[in-house]
Chain A
Amino acid sequence: MPFTLNAYLPSFKQDVSVYELNYKQYRDLVKSLYNSNKKETIQQYNSIVADLCPFIKDRDTTFEDKLSILLTLRNFCISPDLKLKGTADKDTFYHTVTIDNLLKEVRTINKSATIVIDNITVDISSYKMRDEQVFAGNNKDITIILASYIDTLKIDNDKVEFKDLTIEERVKIVNSLPYALSDKVYESIIQTENYYDSQELLVVANPHTDEAVLRLSKNITFEVLQKMIEFLFTEDLGNVFRAFYNMVKFAGFSPEYIDSITPVEMQVYWMYYMQDQSEKQKSTSTNNSGAMLPSTSSPNAELGF
């Protein structure tokens, strides 16, 4: 029975079960950020998110839902802290934020609304995760935004669920909407986005001047989502492979097992291993130098967390 976590999905307003992120998946996520093809990176992330959260199958999850799932995985399977490195006035500084705080902020996002004009009812929520690729390349086409935001369209007793339709089919419907209606829906979207734009998700200040050098709002657009993903999963790929190598070569774990556990579990094993080695070194310090260990001065750095 695989261990599961709870992730809150803002657009569904409920907690859902998410499987743990294993080391192989973590490695793939880190690796895919190095891919210059943005669409392939998005596909890779969405595929892993879908594998880990069966709830989202056949459901239209939003950018906020995806971010919440990734934050949850980062929090429990990698590290509860996000340490960001910045440069101000040629000085390097670090800013640490807890993932839990970010999760609390994401939890408060609710973009859902219902717009009614005469006998037409439109339910909207937010940008859909499956449309992420469409928004790559700074696509601000209002028709696409509407097609992604709309969940259902009801005319008298006829109802169409947008989750069952491709982007082309959804755009076709949006194009046929009376402009008076689509304008009202778009206005509602803009109002909501402006509201969340004014709220902060992540702010990093220059430690010398207190001026914000980075500000990400709670309006989770394509750009904000990509930036958050970069912050959550950017890692020196060499460290990620080195950690795997060390665990197999020095600690003696099988590659299959390492790939099946979470990065944080691997970190715990490595800590125990290093403690053992340290004790062994103490007891045999007069004669032997111990196993062929990598530097012990900073074990976590090699694990890359």
Chain B
Amino acid sequence: MASITNIISSLNSITEKSSFNVYIPSLKKEVRFKPLSTKQQQSFYSCVVDIVPFYTRFIIATFNIISENCTEPAIISQLNVFDRLVILLALRKNTLGSSIAIIKDKVQYVSDFDICFENAKTLDIPDSKSVNLGNIIVELQVPRVVDQYVLEKTLRENVDTSKMNPDTIISQSVLGETSKLIKSVKLVQENETIDVNYEQLNVKDRFTVLENLPAEIMIEVQQYAKLVSQTTDKLLTVNITEDKTAIFDITVDFFLSK
């Protein structure tokens, strides 16, 4: 009779053997991922309570899954939001298949998101962008999954967002999205550049820095955010008929139904 430890160890090795390749757009290479376990699939059910505009539980759950299932843990800190989407597409395909129901103009279509893997290979990821405003230099980047995770974990994991007032929701949304797009903030004083070590700051301190930046910065940030959003749309565009396309979202529903 096998012990629990032996059985779990056998199951783990089976899972490893069933791992599959996922093309990571930012690294331009394939990385192996283990399929979802029962526990991980179950974790999606607890994300159903997420309330728009925050997807706190889903972001935390998917980050944990990506970290646990990636066979190259060293790359986790480098992954960006596009990589995350491609990995989630691959995990979904491996468990529930690549068929997806999409509603557009009140009509439901059944499509296949296999094409997204092709989109990923040709994805034009926005380069980092440096914004100079007087003596302030802000560098923008495509948000990293680790920043997305830390922000949700720190700010909202144990908060009942349904009870938040509208002002707080708007303020947290804007600051949160902006903070993920910023890579560094530098101040130029008398020919000397001072790095505020933005990446080392905690979420609340990052917000404080953002609140003290000149308003013009936000216009640049919005433009860059639009670029990121357009790239996401390109990645998640599928055909719904021979001549129609649609963009779909990856929320928890994506993992709960075929």
Contact = CB atoms under 8 A, between A and B. Distances in A.
Interface string B101-138: 00000000000000000000000000000000000000
B38 A176 contact: yes
B1 A179 contact: no
A68 B37 CA distance: 36
Contacts of A159: 1-2
Name, among A142, A146, A158, A179, the residue most crowded by chain B CB atoms within 10 Å (CB to CB): A179
Contacts of B14: 118-120, 155, 178
Interface stretch (A58-66, A79-87, A166-174, A210-218): A166-174
Contact of B95 (A146, A169, A176, A179): A179
Interface string A205-238: 0000000000000000000000000000000000
Name, among A160, A164, A183, the residue most crowded by chain B CB atoms within 10 Å (CB to CB): A160
Contacts of A176: 8, 11-12, 15, 37-39
A179 to B, nearest CB: 4
B41 interface: yes
Contacts, number: 76
Contacts of A141: 42
Name, among A141, A177, A182, the residue most crowded by chain B CB atoms within 10 Å (CB to CB): A177
Given A158-B2, A159-B2, A180 B8 contact: no
A155 B37 contact: no
Contacts of A153: 7
Given A155-B14, A159-B1, A178-B18, A172 B38 contact: no
A173 B4 contact: yes
A161 interface: yes
A180 B91 CA distance: 11
A183 B37 CA distance: 10
B45 to A, nearest CB: 8
A145 to B, nearest CB: 11
Contacts of A254: none
Interface string A169-203: 10011111111101100000000000000000000
A175 B39 contact: yes
B1 A172 contact: no
Contact of A160 (B4, B18, B38): B4
A169 B18 CA distance: 24
Given A143-B42, A164-B1, A178-B15, A172 B37 contact: no
Interface string B13-35: 01100100000000000000001
B10 interface: yes
Contact of A175 (B1, B3, B35, B42): B42
Nearest to A119: B14
A165 interface: yes
Contact of B42 (A142, A164, A178): A142
Given A178-B11, A180-B35, A183-B95, 15 more contacts: A119-B14, A120-B14, A143-B38, A153-B7, A160-B1, A161-B1, A164-B1, A173-B11, A176-B11, A176-B15, A178-B38, A179-B36, A179-B37, A179-B40, A183-B41
8 contacts: A142-B42, A155-B14, A173-B4, A176-B12, A179-B37, A179-B95, A180-B94, A182-B41
Interface of B: 1-4, 6-8, 10-12, 14-15, 18, 35-42, 94-95
